[in-house]
Amino acid sequence: MKLTVNSREYDVDAEPDTPLLYILRDNLELNGAKFGCGLGQCGACTVLVDGEAVFSCVTPLLLLEGRKVTTVEGLGTVENPGPLQRAFIDEQAAQCGYCIPGMMMRAQALLQKNAHASDAEIRAALQPNLCRCGTHMRILRAVHRAAELLKSARAETSTGSVR
Ligand code: FES
Ligand code: FES
């Protein structure tokens, strides 16, 4: 079937019940999303489907026809990181880093809808994702910083300013 990931269309040859996480990592070589529990309980595998955060380890391929998948690789590049990636780097918001792609994608789902999210809203949105290293405070700071970056980028766009 055809699968759209990060605005690119792929032909995927796999059983319909194959979890999206396996397709991303094994077929498409997009290794940002991580395998943690495989049970929808840790959030390491979080990606966006049509803008909503989902656990890709428990999302079968058959549900994805005609839908848009976004992974952490779709947020920016090493040379040109997106606001969330830049904010996580600036705040050094990682210890082992295993949870971070999932945290970023869950934060992305929130900030796309609400760039003015409060601290309580950010905490509530990230709640399904676990960090075993205890990096939570830095992660929160990074999401707040990303929200500020997004707001400035939108303000620049609306006023037509160019960097
Ligand atoms: S690996 Fe998917 S929720 Fe843990
Ligand atoms: S930084 Fe290690 S699990 Fe979160």
Question: Which tens digits make up the pLDDT trace of 92-146?
Answer: 999 999 999 999 999 999 999 999 999 999 999 999 999 999 999 999 999 999 9
How far is Cα 98 from Cα 45, in angstroms, rounded to an integer?
Answer: 10
Q: How many CB atoms lie within 10 A of CB 69?
A: 26
Pocket of ligand 2 (CB under 6 A): 94-99, 131-133, 135
Q: What is the CATH number of domain 2-162?
A: 3.10.20.30
**Residue 41 Cβ contacting ligand 1 at under 6 Å:** yes
CA of 57 to the centre of ligand 1 (A): 5
Question: Edge to edge, what strands does the sheet with 8-11 contain?
Answer: 8-11, 2-5, 68-70, 46-49, 52-55
Contact at 8 Å (CB) between 61 and 3? yes
How far is Cα 57 from Cα 92, in angstroms, rounded to an integer?
Answer: 27
pLDDT band at residue 161, thresholds of 50, 70 and 90? low
Residue nearest to atom 3 of ligand 1 (CA): 40
For residue 56, which atom of ligand 1 is closest to its CA? 2
How far is Cα 131 from Cα 143, in angstroms, rounded to an integer?
Answer: 15
**Residue 150 Cβ contacting ligand 1 at under 6 Å:** no
Contact at 8 Å (CB) between 5 and 24? yes
Q: Which pTM value belongs to this model?
A: 0.94
pLDDT band at residue 65, thresholds of 50, 70 and 90? very high
**Does residue 47 carry a pLDDT above 70?**
yes
**Does residue 160 carry a pLDDT above 80?**
no
Q: CA 102 → CA 85, 92, 144, 160, distances in Å?
A: 12, 16, 16, 33
For residue 42, which atom of ligand 1 is closest to its CA? 4
Ligand 1, from 22, 24, 25, 41: best to mutate by most atoms within 8 Å of Cβ? Answer: 41
Contact at 8 Å (CB) between 64 and 3? yes
Phi-psi region of 24 (alpha: psi -120 to 50; beta: other; left: phi over 0): alpha
